[in-house]
Structure 1
């Protein structure tokens, strides 16, 4: 007897006759029926004339087995091995780096975005040894960022950060295994031979006139009032980064002998620091603690997401008539105010979390009025 059954998107034909059982699968039902008819005829022919033996192999498609040379076998074995070697592609190195190193980074989210960008470039499928300084330089001068349907030139800082992330991949590969590298000591880092663009000039946007009060009023008219106000007051008083504020936990809010602080055990640069709160910032934190006492969210002080903060901020600044005021400008404003108040470089560094005075001073923007007042004292 013959039978054709559909299995998924394919059809399996089976013939059982005169002690023989044979099956084969086809993409179309018509092909399965035609094959089954041919098999049935061949078996019946054997029944009529036993000399005409039915040969099953004549009706089963033989699988093509490609002959592989010893060299190709060794090459495939090398690729299957997870031990890095010089002919790995950049894409494979990035995947290994993401799996092994990404979770250790404080700025893991930004690092991931840049690594994903590199995965989409033409360099991704190139071997490490084939990526030369000339190729990287060519990529640098042709780098574009797509926004909507248009392409724009990236800022110098974007280029620098992109190249830094590529450089980290090469340096990780070059480091000895005893230093948690991959041991490819003869590998050259092409980024080291590239002239990086000069960093952007520090943004000097400060709050003017009654912008601070207008922003508070605008926040009060929007959603998530308590958390947005607390975020605003903390950022304006301390200069904390957005991620540091949103990741602050209830247990990090501590009362000391001289006032309230937020104790961060680990920040972006890998060190711990204590950020002292102003009276206004302290009051907003106390209100937030009281309001969110029943909300767990892993013990975080804030319950809103980073995206919610961004969207609410954009709406508030438009309402306040400050469309160019960025959230990060609050960090500039806070550090500049602390500097205006006479804090030393050491105290400023403790509050801001900057490791070097060079980076710290990029955030300090003195007001013209303060400079002129001091000039009047010495003239």
Structure 2
């Protein structure tokens, strides 16, 4: 690997030339000194060559064993399999992700996933769905890339879903029952093949609970003697108690079964959603959503004279600003208070 030459001056020059390494040379007054230096340098080079070979082999094994992510859809599918099942809203997110996988953006190579490409997809998506839906889609896909970068070794210098503008938030809905609509909706629920639909709708109207909270309700959390329900896990991650009106008590009391396990056994949020859409259409209420029942229920709590802290404790809202979005009092009731 190396050689030692004696110069005209009588000194000894040690030289090392190895492919892939810069040439080394040094001159010494005696040959033993040159040999010692040469041995030391050759030892260091051999060690470095060994380390490079080991690193190369580790990289080869890692490359062969690791999943190959070529498109955004590849990352989305792994996220759907690994991350989504750990979430409380796993079922809803899985449906959203499967829908997004059908878009052409999922076929975009990771190397071509730029803010410009995301902006084009955003603008196209806004032509068919609401700005709120697009914002939720962008938030989900931004988290897909964050996990891919932080945990799966995908090198994203900048998350393209966070680099583009989010759609402007749509105005909060203020939809409440119009005259005769509650009766029409409940009658349409009675016509449904799903016997659980009317009780679920009535509980939503009486308690202001979310659809997911009603569907996930367990009899062990229902205390009819104390007229209350204890929700252990809610959308904002905290537990809360919900008082039961006489109407809500009557709905729960008339449910069939042995009052063990899930109150609405085997019922999923998606099944309720589809059954409600069909009932809403039969009732002629095309612009009414299940979540509007929460608007209605919250407004009724205020109309009954409850205070902001009392309503917030029932609904689980953290601030008045958040609660105000769900509160649309009937003007006639407000006017009567002014008399």
Task: Report the TM-score, using the length of structure 2 for normalisation.
Answer: 0.71
Query: Structure 1, residues 10-57: CA drift from partner, whole Å, max 9, x if none?
Result: xxxxxxxxxxxxxxxxxxxxxxxxxxxxxxxxxxxxxxxxxxxxxxxx
Give the alignment of 1:131-170 within 5 angstroms. Answer: 131-143=113-125, 153-170=128-145
For 2:86, the equivalent position in structure 1 comes to: 104
From 242, 262, 266, the counterpart of 1:300: 262
More displaced 10-residue stretch of structure 1: 87-96 or 242-251: 87-96
Q: CA deviation at 1:232?
A: 2.2
For 2:324, the equivalent position in structure 1 comes to: 361
Q: CA deviation at 1:88?
A: 5.6
Residues 248, 300 of structure 1: 8 Å contact kept: yes
Residues 275 and 137 from structure 1, CA distance in 2 versus in 1: closer, same or farther, beyond 3 angstroms? same
Residues 224, 249 of structure 2: 8 Å contact kept: no
Q: CA deviation at 1:339?
A: 2.8
For 1:45, the equivalent position in structure 2 comes to: none
Q: Distance in 1 between matches of 2:319 and 2:298?
A: 14
Q: CA deviation at 1:362?
A: 1.9
The runs of 5 or more residues in structure 1 that have no matched partner are 1-72, 145-151, 176-180
Residues 273, 353 of structure 1: 8 Å contact kept: yes
Q: CA deviation at 1:163?
A: 0.6
Alignment length (residue pairs): 283
Q: CA deviation at 1:173?
A: 3.2
Q: CA deviation at 1:345?
A: 3.8
Residues 132, 169 of structure 2: 8 Å contact kept: yes
The runs of 5 or more residues in structure 2 that have no matched partner are 1-56
DSSP-derived class of the 1:245 partner: helix
For 1:24, the equivalent position in structure 2 comes to: none
Q: CA deviation at 1:354?
A: 3.7
Residues 352 and 174 from structure 1, CA distance in 2 versus in 1: closer, same or farther, beyond 3 angstroms? farther
Q: Distance in 1 between matches of 2:331 and 2:274?
A: 32
Q: CA deviation at 1:156?
A: 0.5
Which aligned runs of 4 or more in structure 1 are off by greater than 6 angstroms?
A: 73-76
Q: CA deviation at 1:172?
A: 2.1
Q: Distance in 2 between matches of 1:115 and 1:340?
A: 40
Query: Structure 1, residues 131-186: CA drift from partner, whole Å, max 9, x if none?
Result: 22111111111227xxxxxxx521101111111111111222344xxxxx446686
Q: Distance in 1 between matches of 2:92 and 2:247?
A: 32
Give the alignment of 1:1-379 within 5 angstroms. Answer: 77-82=61-66, 89-143=71-125, 153-175=128-150, 181-182=151-152, 187-225=157-195, 227-255=196-224, 259-288=226-255, 291-293=256-258, 299-303=261-265, 305-306=267-268, 309-310=272-273, 312-314=275-277, 316-374=279-337, 376=338
Residues 106, 269 of structure 1: 8 Å contact kept: no
Q: CA deviation at 1:105?
A: 1.1
Task: Report the TM-score, using the length of structure 1 for normalisation.
Answer: 0.64
Q: Distance in 2 between matches of 1:107 and 1:159?
A: 18
Q: CA deviation at 1:206?
A: 0.9
Q: Distance in 1 between matches of 2:134 and 2:202?
A: 33
Residues 217 and 93 from structure 1, CA distance in 2 versus in 1: closer, same or farther, beyond 3 angstroms? closer
For the aligned residues, what is the CA RMSD?
Answer: 3.3
Residues 126 and 321 from structure 1, CA distance in 2 versus in 1: closer, same or farther, beyond 3 angstroms? closer
